[in-house]
Chain A
Amino acid sequence: MNKDELMLQLKEQIIKQLKLEGKTPADIGDHDPLFVEGLGLDSIDALELIVLLQQEYNIKLNNAEQGQEVFRSVSTMAEFILEKQTQYV
């Protein structure tokens, strides 16, 4: 799966996991901030994203600081997942 395909999949998973009713993948820009502005996610949503990473991609975050960087946008999430998957190959 390349980055574009992964970002589309992530957008669909985020919408489902965070119950973002009325949103479609097209509403979420690749580089849009996920928190505060942009999608306006909150701290509980951040925990749900951690669960999503673990559940769907078997990736655990090591610390909170890492989360700030990883969850900046769908693009940064996709890069992080691809990087982790490469490490395991």
Chain B
Amino acid sequence: MSGSELKITAHAIIRNGKILRNSETIFESSDTGSDFLREAYEEGLKIDYPKFYKMDALGKSGIIATEVLLQDFDFGKYKPEEAGIVLSNKNSSIEADVNYFETARSFPSPALFVYTLPNIVIGEISIRYKFKGENAFFVSDQFDADWLHFYVSDLIHHQKIKACICGWVESVDENFDTCLFLVEKEQKENAVNFTAENLKEIYGLKV
């Protein structure tokens, strides 16, 4: 199966104080940073998941984007091990690293320590949404659509996953740049081909 037979069946973007689902703005706020995520969680999306408050900004951003991404998702369609997650960013878990380092001067915080790896956001998504297939987190200078396309296509072709959340999840100085894609084999209304060009085009949307 080539990547072009796969479809991007949904996408979600968090950037510049806005949350978009399939290119449409579904939430907007003048709040910034963690206040923005909190407002989106409580008032915009009305998510009920108390563990959210304990997460670092990367985790919160990933959870909110996934919640938006999977709004119409049929959770009975795939077994947990048939759904994978492949994410990437530039700055790894730098915010959590710095926050943990600050506490380490007196009493190191276990709750902050557990977020000092970028792939923890994958774990948070996996736990909440039962995407328990293959997963990976890559660190690269910029959004690498070609690599993402190659890797996810290969996973679906070889590793028996049938769906994958993939994309970019970044949090630096409380600025968020998150763009997630849902990739599936099945055709859906408004789905586009899973190609590197389409990944670039969606990621590059002006928000």
Q: Which residues of A contact B (CB under 8 A)?
A: 18-22, 40, 44-45, 47-48, 51, 54-55
B50 to chain A: which residues have CB within 8 Å? 20-22, 40
A21 to chain B: which residues have CB within 8 Å? 50, 53
B108 to chain A: which residues have CB within 8 Å? 51
Closest chain A CB from B102 CB (angstroms): 14
Interface string of B109-122 (1 = CB under 8 A from A): 11100100000000
Of listed B50, B106, B114, residue having the most chain A CB within 10 A:
B50
Interface string of B180-201 (1 = CB under 8 A from A): 0000000000000000000000
Residue among B53, B54, B106, B110 making CB contact with A47, cutoff 8 Å: B110
Q: Which residues of B contact A (CB under 8 A)?
A: 50, 53-54, 106-111, 114
Q: Whole-angstrom distance between the alpha carbons of A45 and B111 in the complex?
A: 7
Q: Cβ of B110 and Cβ of A44 under 8 Å apart?
A: yes
Q: Cβ of B53 and Cβ of A44 under 8 Å apart?
A: no
Which residue in chain A gives the minimum CB-CB distance to B52? A21
B107 to chain A: which residues have CB within 8 Å? 51, 54-55
- A20-B53, A45-B111, A51-B108 known, 12 other contacts, Cβ within 8 Å: A19-B111, A20-B50, A21-B50, A21-B53, A47-B110, A47-B111, A48-B109, A48-B111, A51-B109, A51-B110, A55-B106, A55-B107
Closest chain A CB from B73 CB (angstroms): 26
Q: Whole-angstrom distance between the alpha carbons of A55 and B105 in the complex?
A: 13
A45 to chain B: which residues have CB within 8 Å? 111
Residue among B54, B106, B110, B114 making CB contact with A19, cutoff 8 Å: B54
Q: Cβ of A18 and Cβ of B54 under 8 Å apart?
A: yes
Closest chain A CB from B57 CB (angstroms): 13
A51 to chain B: which residues have CB within 8 Å? 107-110
Q: Whole-angstrom distance between the alpha carbons of A47 and B50 in the complex?
A: 19
Q: Whole-angstrom distance between the alpha carbons of A47 and B109 in the complex?
A: 8
